Amino acid sequence: MEQLRSVVVGEDIVSAVTNVLVWFLFITNILSVSARLGTRYYVSKELGWDDGLQFLAQVATLGQCICNTIAAEHGFGQPTASLTQYDLDIVAKSVYASLPLLILTLVLIKWSISIFITRLTPDETHLMVNTALRVLNVSWWLSATLISLLQCSVPRAWDWFNRDHCIDPRAWWTYVVVVNIATEIGYVGLLIWIIGMLNMSGPQRVLILIVFIARLLVVGAAAAQLVMYWRAYASADISSNLWLPTILNQVVVTTSVITSCVPFLKPLMLSLESGIARVPDEPRSPESYSFQSAMLQDYNVGPGTPQSPTSTMST
């Protein structure tokens, strides 16, 4: 870690580089969400609850970036010996404040995906699995947030530099990342399951699967995040080794945002529209509707324009 830190960015500018990369990734998030919301509102003149959750996720990410900026201005990423006690306290408080915001951002994005799934399928089994994932996400969010707020004994619950009165941060990060990965795999598996029950051509199925399987990139970023945190906390000088895990926090968020916004881009939806057939009707689910209607209902021309499940969308 020390060699990577010295070779890649240099000891004198590590704080500045961390700050720049964090804000660059945040801007990428904003552009992705703006493309999603702008396209959806332009063609349908309305937004959904899942869009609102994506917006709230960016508000939480903004708060996280502000915390990282404050930490960077006080020497975050520099050797502990080079910082004053005042700077160390500010860095510790900033990192402490950013953790609940990170968890909140991730869970809001997952809830947004969950709402999308409820529009995608009427199948009761699919919806039960989706509900189970929601419950798991809520439990993960509440427990991870509570533990992060009480990671050290009061009244200095934020003072994670003095690890003699704190829980093992590696255990906390393992819990956070493992559950995050598990729920991401769960959502990808559920989406693949739903796609597998649809009648469509091979190329269309492959394209849709690629879009949804791309969310596994979040799993890869989260795994790297966990590895880097374990290495950072194994060092005696935590301050100088947390810059890379902090950047990876934002990489995880950005990857999650982008992969959750891509399915809503109109060009992709238009490429999927042609030839998508109805979900096979079953006696137990007469309310079943077409994948096209569920996935493309937000792309009708005008909010008052009626459209049957198998009608062709205007371009």
52 by Cβ neighbours in 10 Å (0-12 / 13-18 / 19+) ranks as middle
The amino acid that residue 189 corresponds to is: G
Q: What is the pLDDT of residues 150-187, one digit of tens each?
A: 988 888 888 888 767 788 899 999 999 999 999 999 99
Q: What is the mean pLDDT of the chain?
A: 80
Element (H, E) at 269: helix 266-273
Q: How far apart are CA 62 and CA 28, in angstroms?
A: 12
CB 279 within 8 A of CB 54: no
Distance, in Å, from the CA atom of 53 to the CA atom of 55, rounded to the nearest integer, reads 5
Residue 264: pLDDT band with limits 50, 70, 90: confident
Question: Which three-class secondary structure state does DSSP give residue 152?
Answer: strand
Q: What is the mean pLDDT of residues 293-301?
A: 45
Q: Which residue has the higher pLDDT, 273 or 123?
A: 123
Distance CA 56, CA 188 (A): 23
pTM for this predicted structure: 0.81
Mean pLDDT for 15-28 is: 90
Domains in the chain, ordered, with CATH? 7-297 (1.20.1070)
> Tokens for 162?
């003095």
53-110 pLDDT, tens digit each: 999 999 999 999 999 999 988 888 888 888 888 999 999 999 999 999 999 999 999 9
3-class DSSP assignment, residue 313: coil
Comparing 100 with 288, the larger pLDDT belongs to: 100
Q: In degrees rounded to 5, what are phi and psi of residue 152? A: -125, 160
**91 vs 95: CA distance, rounded Å:** 6
Q: Which of 194, 208, 204, 202 is nearest to 280 (CA)?
A: 194
* pLDDT for the residue 269: 57
Segment 228-256, tens digit of pLDDT: 999 988 887 887 888 899 999 999 999 99
Residue found by looking up tokens 């969010």 in the block:
141
pLDDT per residue as tens digits for the range 40-51? 777 677 778 888
Give the confidence band of 268 by pLDDT, cuts at 50, 70, 90.
Answer: low
Q: Where are the alpha helices (DSSP H) in the chain?
A: 2-8, 14-44, 49-73, 85-120, 124-149, 169-196, 202-213, 216-233, 243-261, 266-273, 291-296
What was the pLDDT predicted at 197?
Answer: 77
